Amino acid sequence: MTISIIFFDADGTLWDFEKVLHYALGQTLAELRRRVPGPRTEELSTSDLDTMRAQVASKRRGQGLTHEQIRQEAFERTLAILGRPDPQLAAYLTEFYLHHRFTHIEMYPDVLPALGQLKTRYRLGLISNGNTYPERCGLPNTFDVVVFAHDHSVRKPSPRLYEIALGQAGVTPGQAVHVGDSLLNDIVGAQAAGIYATWLNRYQQRNTTEIRPDAEIASLIELPAMLARL
């Protein structure tokens, strides 16, 4: 194999998505309680906010809404339930949430050293179902190809998203490797597009599925040596 580009997943692969998500929701809930005081607001939890967002996303699936629009509609519905419908406040809470969501991302310790080393030899790409653009999280000018699901109305594990990335990179599947933490989204999706799929299993989880990655690593530091063996 002659590898020319390495594609990466974003959330859960390059940074701890759950950590920054719950931090941002916690800060936003505190701001909501300040803006709309009362017992009903005090009873709300970050899980309630996330559940509302999931409900909106499910109802709006296939309608082309961005993650930001879905989050704002979820805040609008939450405010309506609280008896305080206020689209302007919902828009403010969305911006407040996004500020904390993007400014408090912490890369895993292996990310910057690994990307810096790989970039000297390979082109790098990003394929994500999320909305964290590289320039939002301290990775400007790092990736040659950036493909987000919401820009193409298709999500991983659909091979179509990977095919779009291959097309933008101008490479064949055999010239690419994809690295991600999700067996379904990253391994199944990449393999369906003919791409060599590497499972980043940071926490040494047992694979109890029938999904078989082409390779498995516990840290991105292992990636250069793995690529050299291909």
Four-point Cα dihedral 156, 226, 172, 154, nearest 10: 10
Tens-level pLDDT at each residue, the chain (230 residues): 699 999 999 999 999 999 999 999 999 999 999 999 999 999 999 999 999 999 999 998 878 788 899 999 999 999 999 999 999 999 999 999 999 999 999 999 999 999 999 999 999 999 999 988 898 888 999 999 999 998 898 999 999 999 999 999 999 999 999 999 999 999 999 999 999 999 999 999 999 999 999 999 999 999 999 999 98
Interatomic CA distance for residues 134 and 144, integer angstroms:
11
Per the CB < 8 A criterion, the answer to whether 3 and 176 are in contact is yes
Q: Which domains does the chain have, with CATH numbers?
A: 5-16+107-229 (3.40.50.1000), 17-103 (1.10.150)
pLDDT of residue 1: 67
Q: What is the CA radius of gyration of the chain?
A: 19
Interatomic CA distance for residues 36 and 173, integer angstroms:
52
Side chain identity at 189, as an amino acid letter? G
In the block, residue with structure tokens 């599947």 = 173
pLDDT of residue 82: 96
Task: Output the six-digit token pair for 92.
Answer: 């403010």
How far is CA 86 from each of CA 77, 95, 228, rounded to the nearest angstrom? 9, 15, 56
φ/ψ region of 170 (left if φ > 0, alpha if ψ in -120 to 50, else beta) reads left
pLDDT of residue 219: 98
Per the CB < 8 A criterion, the answer to whether 132 and 102 are in contact is yes
Q: For residue 85, is the peptide bond before it cis, meaning its omega torsion is within 30 degrees of 0?
A: no
